[in-house]
Amino acid sequence: MKPHADAFPARVGPDSLSALSATVPAGDDRPGIEVEAPYSGAPIGEIPACSRADVDAAVERARDAQPSWADRSAAERAEVVSRFHDLVLDRRDELLDVIQLESAKARIDAFEEVADVASTARHYADRAPEYLASERRKGAFPLMTRTVEHRRPVGVVGVVSPWNYPLTLAVSDAIPALLAGNAVVLKPASETPFAALSIRDLLRTAGVPEAAFEVVTGTGSEAGGALVDAVDYVCFTGSTETGRAVARRAGENLVDCSLELGGKNPLLVLGDADLDAAAAGAVRGCFANAGQLCLSMERLYVHRDVRDPFLDRFVRRTRALDLAAGYDWTPDVGSLVGSDQLEKVEAHVDDAVEKGADVVTGGRARPDIGPYFYEPTVLTGVTEEMALAREETFGPVVAVTAVDSADEAIERANDSEYGLNASVWTEDAERGRRLARRIDCGTVNVNDAYAAAWASTDAPMGGMKDSGLGRRHGRQGLLRYTESQTVAEQRAGSLHPPEGVPKGWYAKGMTLALRAMARLPGVR
């Protein structure tokens, strides 16, 4: 099928997407993968299904380009990323159109992606030289040994990114990898490849060498698997099931990996919470990006004393959301990404209702708006035998449950195989911070759903338990892409027994020296 002109926003058309697709290096005989616009279900373009040979060739090009990129100083690489930051903001509207076209999210949700990429670029451009600076370490003996830890790039980093945040999760992980002196090969989701291709062009315009940032397109099983096998480090964002397979494959290849995986995130409303603020925050936390957000809230635990007034406020705000298709700023909630996601959401809600849950609002697909739209949905009476209770829905569906105490809320919050993100609402900030530390999640927000932690790019972000390995953001988010190297210089004397000195005497002398060193901890 040919792309349908009516499916496109003002700044992006079939010709521009075709031009992007044509830049993917792939064999001429490879079949194409059709990409559709979820708003309408209409085709918007085709991308190559890269083979293992195509991926291997891209990695080799990146490997050849990496040494000269790494030879630039961290400050020089940071200047390139600073230019990229400016280009992202300059090209904001075009990027928003591409994101919306292929993911069908509301424009305000697409803007979160642009803002995040710019913020991440600014943070790492400012801090990378500091993070990568060589550091003196305490030597074996004060003054006799000089020891320095250096940071070296791992080589070629493979990034496998998902469809739900096609800009953020494609490039925000690539930026620190590039700043660390690595080359990057990115395999975006086949549902949303064009944001990645657009951002690749901006990186190259900013000054990243062409082969130092490659994009390969195709299926996860073929192109994704080939990438994991070929690179020196794997950064993956996606489902826990696939993440386990990626980790096994990386382990077999003896390469390191970082994985951000699924979540079944809890939001706790305590008895002293500002209910209007909590309801507004819960709406944002549950229905941003139509609930297709790893950090979004799917379990709400509300103190019984305030359950009814909170639920009333939450439901009124949910019903007021504008569920619509459009490339302007009017809609609050957009579409699900495709038929598979819609089927999963419908299955979870239908199963819950069949087993006794109540739909307070929503609970219906909306084909009158578009093929994959589903109403923001609030349920009560969700119990453990329902799939919705424990499985990640990844859609605009949330269960509200009354609890009798903060302790019970935390116990229920921690009763999950996941541990990605959580939220606590209370007027007592100190109490909120104290309770947050008891929740088994990599990030916990007090009086916010997810943005406070996610946007704190100087702090690490990632999951506990089955929600992943490693961290993005902050110092850890850059140093994961490096190897530490210790260089130790013996400047005087020797650590071995001197010739002619009895070994017993040497041992006694060393024992005295070790006792003395314990009293001089700061001497290097």
| Residues belonging to the active site | 260, 294
First to last CA, the chain: 70
> What's the number of CA atoms in the CB half-sphere (13 Å) around residue 57?
10
Ramachandran quadrant class, 503 (left: phi over 0; alpha: psi -120 to 50; beta: rest): alpha
Beta-carbon contacts of 511 under 8 Å, excluding residues fewer than 6 positions away, are none
Between CA 108 and CA 506 the distance in angstroms is: 71
Q: Are 311 and 380 in contact (CB under 8 A)?
A: yes
Instruction: Give the pairing of strands 135-137 and 145-153.
Output: antiparallel
Task: Strand 397-403: give its sheet, edge to edge.
Answer: 358-361, 377-380, 397-403, 297-303, 265-269, 421-425, 443-446
Q: β-strands 156-160, 233-237: how paired? A: parallel
Which candidate, 33, 17, 35, 24, places its Cα nearest to that of 338? 35
Which residues 6+ apart lie within 8 Å of 265 measured at CB?
285, 295, 296, 297, 298, 299, 418, 420, 421, 422, 423, 441, 450
Instruction: Determine contact, residues 49/223, Cβ cutoff 8 Å.
Output: yes
The distance from CA 428 to its chain's CA centroid, rounded to whole angstroms, is 30
SS3 439: coil
Residues 6+ apart with CB under 8 A from 131: 151, 475, 478, 479
